[in-house]
Structure 1
Amino acid sequence: MQSILLSLPFLTSRDVSPLLAASLIHAAVDEVLQTDLTEFKLQNVETEGEGDEERFTLLDGESLQRCFFNKLRDVCSEWQKQLPPLRPLTRFLLVSIHAIRNTRRKMEDRHVLLPEFNQLFGLSDDVDRAYFAVFDGHGGVDAANYSATHLHVNVGLHEEIVKNPAEALKCSFQKTDEMFLFKAKREKLRSGTTGVSALIVGNKLHIAWLGDSQVMLVQQGKAVTLMEPHKPEREDERARIETLGGCVTYMDCWRVNGTLAVSRAIGDICQKPYVSGDADGDSFELTGSEDYLLLACDGFFDAIKPHEVVDLVLDHLMQTKVNLV
């Protein structure tokens, strides 16, 4: 999984187009999957909890990553001789990113941009797909790293990705949470992460989220709120937590069991099930009247109110002389 994120910047830094890079990676992954993966299976791994070892197979990541990059090198050499036909994107998406650490000792946030989603996962129909996500880690970077590495893979490999992409996106949050909790249990990790993702499929926007990272649409110069973040003070979230035997207390802000200021997240093994890994989701028709989509963690929305976003982005575009198309 991590090899995909490593190889994308590796290839693009060598002037490989994103479209070609995604296609090369998919071909290399196919080559790896055709090999006998039992040689990478870890032996004598201790696991807690019944059934974990049946649901998840542990592989030697270092050896598997080495195998992947060898396959990628072979595919690059082969395609250099004869480049297969590649289906270009029919929709051009202009993407901008910004990340700042602020006062924290380490940067715990992660983002993922995959406009070439189809090419990366070998989806060959006539429907364009693009994936974007923001993860706001807390208590360490492990959960955010893991989610940024695995969530889009779970989406792309989900059996409903073509027929029901909204379901695939939402279910992949829960699967990623289960996978990370298995890792956290083995490696004694305590971190967690909120997450928000957007999957654009043709003329439909599908979103899913856990916690207080948010996605917002700007349409004809007006901010449109698409979701309600998961915060402990929400009436339904408080009721869910208290029904499970937890509590919501005020300590400079509302917190689950006096600790976390979010009520849903990937990870946070010590706060499960009060901090849920069950994502919310929604879908929207895109009419062409949309200006742009904004995904950001709570640090942004704590400082910038939704109605201020439009002017803020417009001022930035004017200063940098960038035109939205």
Structure 2
Amino acid sequence: MAPGSAASQASVKRASAAQVLGLQLLQPQGEAWRPSCPGPAADPRDALGMSSGAPQKSSPMASGAEETPGFLDTLLQDFPALLNPEDPLPWKAPGTVLSQEEVEGELAELAMGFLGSRKAPPPLAAALAHEAVSQLLQTDLSEFRKLPREEEEEEEDDDEEEKAPVTLLDAQSLARSFFNRLWEVAGQWQKQVPLAARASQRQWLVSIHAIRNTRRKMEDRHVSLPSFNQLFGLFDPVNRAYFAVFDGHGGVDAARYAAVHVHTNAARQPELPTDPAGALREAFRRTDQMFLRKAKRERLQSGTTGVCALIAGATLHVAWLGDSQVILVQQGQVVKLMEPHRPERQDEKARIEALGGFVSHMDCWRVNGTLAVSRAIGDVFQKPYVSGEADAASRALTGSEDYLLLACDGFFDVIPHQEVVGLVQSHLTRQQGSGLRVAEELVAAARERGSHDNITVMVVFLRDPQELLEGGNQGEGDPQAEGRRQDLPSSLPEPETQAPPRS
């Protein structure tokens, strides 16, 4: 059955809550080598499905299948009884209140963070989170409703755009009930673990490094979801993996929100099997709308750019908003996948001016004299000039691709695309084919070039780095290599000028 066909769409079977959030990396503080084969995470901050060290050559399911019963036994020994109302939560609740549209993603993120801290086998953790969220969503959540303060009610009444009342739920009480549900599912599975909790998955080798740099706060977030299908209850024959980088500004709230909800919203889209790129575009739009509602409730002013890559079978789908970027390297040559959204782009400038805004140059090109990006999630006071509509593209994979690189503007503002190949190849040569610290080296190169911004770099190897070293890279060190880039056909125009580094 061909991926993306109508028959393929019909064959997709979902559990009771198909759109459960996967795993997040919400506090990026360093790099790690992350094969997605089952095994305990080396650091609680790391996403489940990844572990430190070299790629494991053994059967991808051996470790997880063997550890599953023992993990459940230990979990239930440490938490033998349900939580009482006065008991502390085993993991921090997601804020104080949640809207109903946020519950699914936030609770699954809660579960994956907790289970990751306990080094759960990744397939088991994903299945546990999925089942616990599914069961809770089938119950009446009205008992968790939190009545708004009088002044909040008055504000809602005065807002002509908010016609429908927003039901807010108490996050602490909801989280406590969710953990009790998680204990119950673990107890049931202690006797018989479902096959979904032991399912095999492709190994993905990922190197990630993220630093605050000279900025006062770290506002970047990134996501690595190598077991997308398991985490979202998808049971069609198409393997999927999701990777993303979000670059926040004006605070971390928007970036953190996008890292929780973009892929959750993508999994909710019925067209995901037939039009993954369209599903990603809609996921960005939907997440922007959700965050704008939250921003108005909680008086948040932050925003975030973002770029994501969804590998579905033999096809790569990318979507982006703003100036975070992804490139593909194939046989040592850069393949251009996208054109970042910047105010100086002719089409972006025309769109902004048609809406009544303006683009001016103040150390760099800015929308209405403030933001250096023309599209982003959030930025409630700059809508609609700063658009929440993402662009997307798709490309067939042939098996000759080397790696994907996703990064924020803190990297790409100072490192040209064509220099990435030489930097990666040089690192692999010195490290004898180990990609353990390749992202760290790329970040260091950006700092040496003068980047003062937060920097996040994610390298997703599509082939064994050792193979790349042994085979060499075509185009390495060749000044004409950039001219031979295999660009995707695109209706997006080139920018009028090269954007200077953002301050």
Pick the TM interval, shorter chain: over 0.9
Cα deviation for residue 41 of structure 1 reads: 2.8
Do 2:326 and 2:406's aligned partners in 1 also have CA atoms closer than 8 Å? Answer: yes
1:206-250 alpha-carbon deviations (Å, 9 max, x no partner): 111110000110111111110000000000000000000100000
Hey, what's the Cα distance between the residues in 1 that align with 2:167 and 2:237?
34
- Give 3-state SS (helix, strand or coil) of 1:54's partner: coil
Does residue 143 (structure 1) correspond to residue 254 (structure 2)? The answer is yes
1:186-224 alpha-carbon deviations (Å, 9 max, x no partner): 111111000111111111111111100001101111111
Does residue 291 (structure 1) correspond to residue 402 (structure 2)? The answer is yes
Runs (5+) with no aligned partner, structure 1: none
Hey, what's the Cα distance between the residues in 2 that align with 1:157 and 1:206?
17
Alignment partner, residue 186 of structure 2: 76
Alignment partner, residue 110 of structure 2: 6
- Give 3-state SS (helix, strand or coil) of 1:96's partner: strand
Does residue 305 (structure 1) correspond to residue 409 (structure 2)? The answer is no
Alignment partner, residue 135 of structure 2: 31
Which structure has more relative contact order (CA 8 Å, sep 6+)? It is 2
Does residue 63 (structure 1) correspond to residue 173 (structure 2)? The answer is yes
Whose radius of gyration is greater, 1 or 2?
A: 2
Does residue 180 (structure 1) correspond to residue 284 (structure 2)? The answer is no
Does residue 41 (structure 1) correspond to residue 152 (structure 2)? The answer is no
Does residue 248 (structure 1) correspond to residue 359 (structure 2)? The answer is yes
Do 2:201 and 2:227's aligned partners in 1 also have CA atoms closer than 8 Å? Answer: no
Compute the TM-score of the two structures, normalised by the length of structure 2.
Answer: 0.62
Q: Which moved more, 1:252-261 or 1:161-170?
A: 161-170
Identity across the alignment (%): 63
Alignment partner, residue 167 of structure 1: 278
Cα deviation for residue 14 of structure 1 reads: 2.5
Change (3 A) 1:41 1:165: farther
Does residue 17 (structure 1) correspond to residue 121 (structure 2)? The answer is yes
1:265-316 alpha-carbon deviations (Å, 9 max, x no partner): 0000111110000111111111111111111101111121101111222233
How many pairs does the alignment contain? 325
Hey, what's the Cα distance between the residues in 1 that align with 2:194 and 2:390?
39
Do 1:89 and 1:116's aligned partners in 2 also have CA atoms closer than 8 Å? Answer: no
Do 1:121 and 1:157's aligned partners in 2 also have CA atoms closer than 8 Å? Answer: no
Q: How does 1:106-117 map to 2 (within 5 A)?
A: 106-117=217-228
Runs (5+) with no aligned partner, structure 2: 1-104, 436-462, 465-503
Hey, what's the Cα distance between the residues in 1 that align with 2:361 and 2:123?
49
Alignment partner, residue 195 of structure 2: 85
Hey, what's the Cα distance between the residues in 2 that align with 1:318 and 1:57?
56
Change (3 A) 1:90 1:189: closer
Does residue 193 (structure 1) correspond to residue 304 (structure 2)? The answer is yes
1:34-72 alpha-carbon deviations (Å, 9 max, x no partner): 211122233345336446463864322222222222212
Do 2:126 and 2:230's aligned partners in 1 also have CA atoms closer than 8 Å? Answer: yes
Hey, what's the Cα distance between the residues in 2 that align with 1:51 and 1:241?
22
Hey, what's the Cα distance between the residues in 2 that align with 1:15 and 1:305?
38
Q: Which runs of 4+ in 1 moved over 4 A?
A: none
Do 2:309 and 2:318's aligned partners in 1 also have CA atoms closer than 8 Å? Answer: yes
Give the superposed CA RMSD: 1.8
- Give 3-state SS (helix, strand or coil) of 2:187's partner: helix
Hey, what's the Cα distance between the residues in 2 that align with 1:218 and 1:56?
46
- Give 3-state SS (helix, strand or coil) of 1:207's partner: strand
Do 2:107 and 2:133's aligned partners in 1 also have CA atoms closer than 8 Å? Answer: no
Paired residue type of 2:131: A
Hey, what's the Cα distance between the residues in 1 that align with 2:109 and 2:426?
32
Q: Which moved more, 1:167-176 or 1:55-64?
A: 55-64
Hey, what's the Cα distance between the residues in 2 that align with 1:158 and 1:25?
20
Hey, what's the Cα distance between the residues in 2 that align with 1:3 and 1:93?
26
- Give 3-state SS (helix, strand or coil) of 1:181's partner: helix
Cα deviation for residue 93 of structure 1 reads: 1.3
Cα deviation for residue 320 of structure 1 reads: 4.2
Hey, what's the Cα distance between the residues in 1 that align with 2:431 and 2:122?
24
Alignment partner, residue 120 of structure 1: 231
Hey, what's the Cα distance between the residues in 2 that align with 1:37 and 1:155?
24
Hey, what's the Cα distance between the residues in 2 that align with 1:10 and 1:203?
33
Paired residue type of 1:160: E
Cα deviation for residue 319 of structure 1 reads: 4.0
Cα deviation for residue 162 of structure 1 reads: 2.3
Alignment partner, residue 316 of structure 2: 205
- Give 3-state SS (helix, strand or coil) of 2:328's partner: strand
Hey, what's the Cα distance between the residues in 2 that align with 1:92 and 1:121?
18
- Give 3-state SS (helix, strand or coil) of 1:303's partner: coil
Compute the TM-score of the two structures, normalised by the length of structure 1.
Answer: 0.94
